Amino acid sequence: MTKPNLAVDVAGIRMKNPVTTASGTFGFGSEYAPFVDLNRLGAIVVKGTTLLPRQGNPLPRIVETPAGILNAIGLQNPGVNHFIEVALPYLRQFDLPVIVNIAGDTVEDYATLAARLDEVPGVAGLEVNISCPNVKKGGLAFGADPDSAAAVVRAVKGATRLPVVVKLSPNVTSIVRLAEAVVEAGADALSMINTLLGMAIDIRRRRPALANVMGGLSGPAIRPVAVRAVWQVYQALKVPIVGMGGIVTAEDALEFIMAGATAVAVGTANFINPRATTDIIEGIERFLVEEGVSDIQELIGAAHM
Amino acid sequence: MAVDIPAEVVQQEQVGPGLYRLSLYAPQITRSAVPGQFVYIRCTDNLDPLLRRPISIHGVNRERGELFLLYQVVGRGTALLAARRRGERLGVMGPLGRGFTLQAPGQRVVLVGGGIGVAPLVFLGQVLVQRNNQVCLLVGARSADQLPVGKEGYTAPFELAVATDDGSCGHHGPVTDLLEKILAGEGADMVYACGPRGMLHQTALLLARYDVPGEFSLEERMGCGVGACLSCVCKTAGKGGEPLQYRRVCVEGPVFPADQLVWD
Domain count, chain B: 3
- Which of A101, A130, A120, A131 shows the shortest CA–CA distance to A161? A120
Q: Has residue A236 got a pLDDT over 50?
A: yes
Per-residue pLDDT tens digits for B117-132: 999 999 999 999 999 9
Q: Has residue B154 got a pLDDT over 60?
A: no
Q: If you measure CA to CA, which chain A residue comes closest to B45?
A: A272
Per-residue pLDDT tens digits for A32-58: 999 999 999 999 999 999 999 999 999
Task: Give me chain B's average pLDDT, please.
Answer: 93
Q: What is the pLDDT of residue A277?
A: 98
- Mutant choice from A35, A59, A204, A278 vs B, greatest count of B C-beta within 10 A: A59
d(Cα A140, Cα A132) in Å, to the nearest integer? 5
Question: Which residues from B are below 8 Å from A when comparing CB atoms?
Answer: 1-4, 42, 47-52, 91, 93, 220-234, 244-246, 251
- A·B CB contacts under 8 A: 97
Q: What is the pLDDT of residue A200?
A: 98
Do B226 and A27 lie within an 8 Å CB cutoff? yes
Q: What is the 3-state secondary structure (H, E, C) of chain B?
A: CCEEEEEEEEEEEEEECCEEEEEEECHHHHCCCCCCCEEEECCCCCCCCCCCEEEECCEEECCCCEEEEEEECCCHHHHHHHCCCCCCEEEEEEEECECCCCCCCCCEEEEEEEHHHHHHHHHHHHHHHHCCCEEEEEEEECCHHHCCCCHHHHHCCCEEEEEECCCCCCEECCHHHHHHHHHHCCCCCEEEEECCHHHHHHHHHHHHHHCCCEEEECCCCCCCCCCCCCCCEEEEECHHHCCEEEEECCCCCEEEEHHHECCC
ipTM for the whole predicted complex goes beyond 0.85: yes
Q: Who contacts A203 (Cβ-Cβ below 8 Å, separation ≥6)?
A: none
Q: In this structure, are B204 and B256 located in the same domain?
A: no
Query: How close is the nearest chain B Cα to the Cα of A67, in Å?
Result: 5
Per-residue pLDDT tens digits for B221-249: 999 999 999 999 999 986 666 778 899 99
d(Cα B219, Cα B195) in Å, to the nearest integer? 8
Residue B264 banded pLDDT, cuts 50, 70, 90: confident
Please report, rounded to a whole number, the percentage of residues in chain A having pLDDT higher than 90: 93
Per-residue pLDDT tens digits for A158-183: 999 999 999 999 999 999 999 999 99
Q: In this structure, are B177 and B199 located in the same domain?
A: yes
Q: Has residue B149 got a pLDDT over 80?
A: no
Q: What is the pLDDT of residue A132?
A: 72
Residue B98, classified by CB atoms within 10 Å of its CB into exposed (0-12), middle (13-18) or buried (19+), is: middle
d(Cα A103, Cα A152) in Å, to the nearest integer? 10
d(Cα A261, Cα A230) in Å, to the nearest integer? 7
> What average pLDDT does the segment B50-78 reach?
96
Final residue in a domain of this structure, among B65, B96, B127: B96
Q: What is the CATH number of the domain that holds B58?
A: 2.40.30.10
Give me the phi and psi of A74, to 5 degrees please.
Answer: 80, 35
Q: In this structure, are B67 and B154 located in the same domain?
A: no
d(Cα B60, Cα B122) in Å, to the nearest integer? 11
Q: In this structure, are B56 and B104 located in the same domain?
A: no
B76 is in an annotated binding site: no
d(Cα A109, Cα A115) in Å, to the nearest integer? 10
Q: Has residue A234 got a pLDDT over 50?
A: yes
Q: Please say if A126 is a catalytic residue.
A: no
Residue B153 banded pLDDT, cuts 50, 70, 90: very low
Per-residue pLDDT tens digits for A245-266: 999 999 999 999 999 999 999 9
Which of chain B's residues have a Cβ under 8 Å away from the Cβ of A67? 47-48, 50
A280 DSSP assignment: H
Q: Which residues of A are annotated as a binding site for FMN?
A: 23, 47-48, 101, 129, 167, 193, 219, 245-246, 267-268
Under 8 Å between Cβ of B242 and A284: no
Q: In this structure, are B167 and B223 located in the same domain?
A: no
Q: In this structure, are B199 and B111 located in the same domain?
A: yes
B71 is in an annotated binding site: yes
Residue A52, classified by CB atoms within 10 Å of its CB into exposed (0-12), middle (13-18) or buried (19+), is: exposed
Name the residue type at position A292: G
Chain A (125-144) residues lying within 8 Å, Cβ to Cβ, of chain B: none
B70 is in an annotated binding site: yes
Q: What is the CATH number of the domain that holds B104?
A: 3.40.50.80
How far is the CA of A130 from the CAs of A149, A178, A227, in angstroms?
Answer: 7, 11, 20
Name the residue type at position B225: G
Q: What does the angle CA B172 – CA B177 – CA B181 come to, to the nearest 5 degrees? A: 120
Q: Which of A22, A132, A144, A179 is catalytic?
A: A132
Q: In this structure, are B31 and B59 located in the same domain?
A: yes
Q: Residue A193: is the preceding peptide bond cis (ω within 30°)?
A: yes
Query: How close is the nearest chain B Cα to the Cα of A23, in Å?
Result: 9
Name the residue type at position A305: M
B53 is in an annotated binding site: yes
Query: How close is the nearest chain A Cα to the Cα of B47, in Å?
Result: 6
Q: Who contacts A162 (Cβ-Cβ below 8 Å, separation ≥6)?
A: A114, A117, A118, A123, A124, A125, A126
In which element (H, E) is residue A251 found? helix A250-259
> A102: how many CB neighbours lie within 10 A of its CB?
30
Query: How close is the nearest chain B Cα to the Cα of A123, in Å?
Result: 20
Under 8 Å between Cβ of B82 and B73: yes
Q: In this structure, are B37 and B90 located in the same domain?
A: yes
Name the residue type at position A194: N
Buried b vs exposed e over B112-125: b needs ≥16 C-beta within 10 Å?
A: bbbbbbbbbbbbbb
Please report, rounded to a whole number, the percentage of residues in chain A having pLDDT higher than 70: 97
Per-residue pLDDT tens digits for A191-206: 999 999 999 999 999 9
Q: Per DSSP, what are the bridge partners of residue B135?
A: B109
- Mutant choice from B197, B226, B262 vs A, greatest count of A C-beta within 10 A: B226
d(Cα A34, Cα A182) in Å, to the nearest integer? 38
Do B230 and A268 lie within an 8 Å CB cutoff? no
- Domains of chain A are 8-57+73-196+217-299 (3.20.20.70)
Q: In this structure, are B33 and B77 located in the same domain?
A: yes
- Mutant choice from B3, B220, B230, B252 vs A, greatest count of A C-beta within 10 A: B230
> What average pLDDT does the segment B48-60 reach?
96
Q: Has residue B79 got a pLDDT over 90?
A: yes
Name the residue type at position A195: T
Query: Which of A144-153, B93-102, B208-217 is the least confident region?
Result: A144-153
Q: In this structure, are B159 and B211 located in the same domain?
A: yes
Residue A135 banded pLDDT, cuts 50, 70, 90: low
Q: What is the pLDDT of residue B239?
A: 62
How far is the CA of A102 from the CAs of A106, A114, A245, B42, B155, in angstroms?
Answer: 12, 8, 19, 32, 55
Do B233 and A61 lie within an 8 Å CB cutoff? yes
Under 8 Å between Cβ of B194 and B114: yes
Q: In this structure, are B246 and B138 located in the same domain?
A: no
Q: In this structure, are B91 and B107 located in the same domain?
A: no
B55 is in an annotated binding site: yes
Q: Who contacts B163 (Cβ-Cβ below 8 Å, separation ≥6)?
A: B138, B139, B140, B141, B170, B171, B172, B173, B174, B175, B177, B178
Q: Where are the beta strands (DSSP E) in chain A?
A: 8-10, 13-15, 19-21, 44-45, 62-65, 68-71, 98-102, 125-129, 164-167, 189-192, 196-199, 201-202, 207-208, 214-218, 241-244, 263-266
Q: What is the pLDDT of residue B151?
A: 45
Give the three-state DSSP class for A138: coil
Chain Cα centroid distance, residue A61:
20
Q: What is the pLDDT of residue A138?
A: 65
Do A34 and B233 lie within an 8 Å CB cutoff? no
**Structural domain containing residue B248:** 219-263
Task: Give me chain A's average pLDDT, please.
Answer: 95
Q: Has residue B152 got a pLDDT over 60?
A: no
Q: Has residue A137 got a pLDDT over 70?
A: no
Q: What is the pLDDT of residue B156?
A: 65
